[in-house]
Structure 1
């Protein structure tokens, strides 16, 4: 049976037989960190029949099959794809409602307190914060970890990595509020229609600042100045269409052995003419309020001539906002949008290398959810999460199965599994972008519109690249970042950050039974995916630590958690 390639990049010592895995004395912090790092590096080094009849000839009713019970591990696996981390309550909910039922229940969840309202309620709209990002990280982390609308949170984060802004790169005051308003747009529209989302980000102040089309002016024949093309280009390249023309299953259309381009320079310049004249709705800068409302059109700055792109022409004299909507309609109708968007959502939630058939099935739902509606996000998300390639556990043995867990998802998974809270509501986790001391990733802090990692990235000179596969998250994964992740995680597991701490009271009751302890960690954190070899190795380390004394039980618990989170079985989600 083929070994999953994403799990096959091993050093000379197999992860199942780690060096010094069973020390005779309790592990010190330094040795535990070293051991965990060696485990983590193993994940990234080098790369039917018909009905019968009765005697009288009447058809014999065929009873409906009873759905097979959903095991805890299968429930946890769904939550690994559809939430920011499993909890006992959510596992029980999936088992009770079923996969489809749980998804329906999540769609019915009311939107959590908006990022904007939370910032205001917690006093961040004071003059001292007018020129900083204070409050942005607490509200992002709090929602991901604490709010019950977890499917919405997961989709919102996925969208934020597809339609990217970086709060640090905003040329605006009140950056935390501008960033919050943008994330609220993504979350508000996560279960809506993709076309509506396109319009909402186009008229959002943070996006307009980040991609430099805020105040974009029509061309000037005297000076030769031309409209800024940044948003026009990235809207097509990164947000909706991609560089190459696609079949409905995401495969690239070819001609003469070469891929067919989706658009050219003339399409970019033509589309850029449409995105002129968009400005803030107010000049008042002493409060952040203008960043919450959509941009408005300034007619004198908008290009009034005809604009042509992608075989579409916006007639001369079309009112500015009407022109924007016509342009977005034309892009939304493009055949590339269903496969392009569907593939990226699958990559963010389920697997880095979905089959063409999987993409095709989801893409078909994006194009028409069954009643003629295009872009219905609820239908698309249900198709992604209930597809055979997402739910069939036998696919985990396929060589193209799996994805590297994003660093941020590792942190939120731990926090949710062990009920981490911040009693003061400070949520002092902060910016975790540093790859030398933290996670190498922090939501909302990408330096560029290309995100921390690209959907088509493949690590060079590895079995992954040789097989023609991609592994996007490996773009921020190397020896330095792995060691930093382990060191940061070890401190966080043990001490939290400020008053942001986990509650280990429940799992501590299992500290004396190493097998039960590891089984619980496996279910809650690794979605039941730790191999027998990995479990044996972690058990050896835990059993080497005495369960007596004031710190014995907690040391055993935290060792089990850290080593599980450093193992290739955990880091590679399948």
Structure 2
């Protein structure tokens, strides 16, 4: 298929750049600056369909039955918006299922779905455990894209990816052989425990080989008073700072606890040093590197290198002589019981799934479910996920200027692929590493450059309006003129089926009316949130050609370049 000529309508993405800077153009593709498509950020206000009933009779008058409350039907746009938060992308079938089951019923059904395959088993089934792959990453990106796009347990995939951006391991920082398998085992830990208990998840990531290598506590040794060597403190610090409690004490609504007008720190350097002593002695359970199998099993503790002296952190002392297993249990139990964990974890999950700036009340409601699921259980991930996705702040039709979030670049690609049934043309999902900001997405799952992810949850763009309003926009940390143009040009290649991911566009082909075509693309990709003014301009561009295939390409490309799509409300 010939490459599209420069389209008559170009999307203005300036609203998505730091400081409102205009995006640069690009040769050979579609520039990001152009005709000034409206940057309206509000979604369409769609009324729910009411249903009701009545009854009557003759003869003896019976007592009037108690009226059944009318439950508004879920519109297709509302279902699509819900799926944009709960999956890697909406399909027509998914939308119909949400409308049929309703939100809570759909979540319950997703919780019951088994995993069709693990990331590890996918690699094995395709022969990536061949000895030739021992020192590389071959297969890792393949399995990631195959599952993110094609897996049936979409809520699990979505939550697992959110967890991967909080409990970060990046494959390039894993100093092990069989890196693709070490990373697959780590992602499997996140997926297997996405619907479990957060305390169990802490145990599983701590005893995972990829995490121990990435945060450098693998083969960590106890202090040596002769040489002055002390245990590596990397994991102890990041476990507290980034994974569980953060730097400052929090109220349940996520606001900071103040003393004399100043935030109260959660831990001191001595707490890091004390905790690091407990993460000594961890090692893999085998020296056999001819297969990757040892990386799938939990780490063991070598008593000969584990700290045997007393260790104190966060006001708790592990006595001298405690076994490595007992010391680990005390460490994780202490952290898990910290009052910061419910608001700290809950707010970040809300940010990843629903909105960058949740209200304190929203954070407080979800944190309360984290602290107690209603049956006295702390850390129940199913209760937390349900609370996040069913909260009024998530489900009410969007209003205001602070709701929502910038769509992550990876979610844009998976959203397109799922909406239009795209699959791997080769069968091996060779989309590859998409983290280049020059000509890809500026993001690729499992390839975070550091433990701080591709972007930080508290990132404030270099724009006075954000700081003045007290708002954060995490995804804007990887958004600039270069990444914006790179995204548009890469997207054009993808949409035109010029990569391994390809779609027949079977659902769109019968839509010969330009307005019907544009409306359908708007629903599937943007949950109906692209404004009527922008849709009019897109329709005009669609009508500029009589070629049915190019009309589909234009409609998809311009919807996905519109500010209303890029800002998920």
TM over 0.5: yes
1:145 equivalent among 144, 149, 156: 149
Matching residue of 2:484: 482
Matching residue of 1:507: 508
Matching residue of 1:567: 562
CA separation in 1, counterparts of 2:17 and 2:490? 25
1:83–1:12: structure 2 CA closer, same or farther, 3 Å change rule?
A: closer
CA separation in 1, counterparts of 2:40 and 2:302? 53
Deviation track 1:154-178 (CA, whole Å, cap 9, x = no partner) reads 0000000000001111110000000
1:492 equivalent among 464, 482, 494: 494
1:256–1:385: structure 2 CA closer, same or farther, 3 Å change rule?
A: same
1:71 equivalent among 63, 72, 75: 75
SS at structure 2 position matched to 1:425: coil
Worse-superposed segment, 197-206 or 420-429: 420-429
Task: Mark the runs of 5 or more structure 1 residues left unpaired by the alignment.
Answer: 20-28, 45-57, 547-551
1:545–1:554: structure 2 CA closer, same or farther, 3 Å change rule?
A: same
Matching residue of 2:59: none
SS at structure 2 position matched to 1:301: coil
1:332 equivalent among 323, 332, 336: 336
Matching residue of 2:550: 555
Q: CA deviation at 1:62?
A: 3.1
SS at structure 2 position matched to 1:411: helix
Q: CA deviation at 1:11?
A: 6.3
CA separation in 1, counterparts of 2:289 and 2:492? 42
SS at structure 2 position matched to 1:308: strand
Is residue 36–residue 562 contact of structure 1 (8 Å, CA) maintained in 2?
no
Is residue 32–residue 559 contact of structure 1 (8 Å, CA) maintained in 2?
no
CA separation in 2, counterparts of 1:264 and 1:40? 50
CA separation in 2, counterparts of 1:6 and 1:221? 57
SS at structure 2 position matched to 1:218: coil
Is residue 77–residue 523 contact of structure 2 (8 Å, CA) maintained in 1?
yes
The yes-or-no answer on 1:97 pairing with 2:101 is: yes
Is residue 266–residue 309 contact of structure 1 (8 Å, CA) maintained in 2?
yes
Is residue 448–residue 454 contact of structure 2 (8 Å, CA) maintained in 1?
yes
SS at structure 1 position matched to 2:304: helix
Q: CA deviation at 1:422?
A: 1.5
Deviation track 1:252-285 (CA, whole Å, cap 9, x = no partner) reads 0011111100101000000000000000011000
Matching residue of 2:48: none
Deviation track 1:50-100 (CA, whole Å, cap 9, x = no partner) reads xxxxxxxx9976333132111100000000000000001110100000000
CA separation in 1, counterparts of 2:560 and 2:368? 37
Is residue 236–residue 242 contact of structure 1 (8 Å, CA) maintained in 2?
yes
The yes-or-no answer on 1:282 pairing with 2:286 is: yes
SS at structure 1 position matched to 2:510: helix
CA separation in 2, counterparts of 1:572 and 1:364? 28
Matching residue of 1:413: 415
Q: TM-score, normalised by structure 1?
A: 0.90
Q: CA deviation at 1:466?
A: 2.2
Q: CA deviation at 1:32?
A: 6.7
1:299 equivalent among 290, 296, 303: 303
CA separation in 2, counterparts of 1:236 and 1:347? 19
Is residue 18–residue 476 contact of structure 2 (8 Å, CA) maintained in 1?
no
SS at structure 2 position matched to 1:118: helix
SS at structure 1 position matched to 2:312: strand
The yes-or-no answer on 1:34 pairing with 2:31 is: yes
CA separation in 2, counterparts of 1:42 and 1:188? 40
Deviation track 1:371-421 (CA, whole Å, cap 9, x = no partner) reads 10000000000000000000000xx22222110000000000000001011
SS at structure 1 position matched to 2:239: helix
SS at structure 1 position matched to 2:447: coil
SS at structure 2 position matched to 1:509: coil
CA separation in 1, counterparts of 2:19 and 2:515? 26
Task: Mark the runs of 5 or more structure 2 residues left unpaired by the alignment.
Answer: 1-13, 42-61
CA separation in 2, counterparts of 1:63 and 1:134? 62
Is residue 43–residue 571 contact of structure 1 (8 Å, CA) maintained in 2?
no
Is residue 85–residue 414 contact of structure 1 (8 Å, CA) maintained in 2?
yes
CA separation in 1, counterparts of 2:441 and 2:486? 7
The yes-or-no answer on 1:453 pairing with 2:448 is: no
Q: How does 1:340-489 map to 2 (within 5 A)?
A: 340-393=344-397, 396-489=398-491
Worse-superposed segment, 475-484 or 534-543: 534-543
CA separation in 2, counterparts of 1:378 and 1:38? 45
1:265–1:61: structure 2 CA closer, same or farther, 3 Å change rule?
A: farther
Is residue 107–residue 386 contact of structure 2 (8 Å, CA) maintained in 1?
yes
Deviation track 1:444-473 (CA, whole Å, cap 9, x = no partner) reads 011100000000001012422221100000
CA separation in 2, counterparts of 1:216 and 1:71? 55
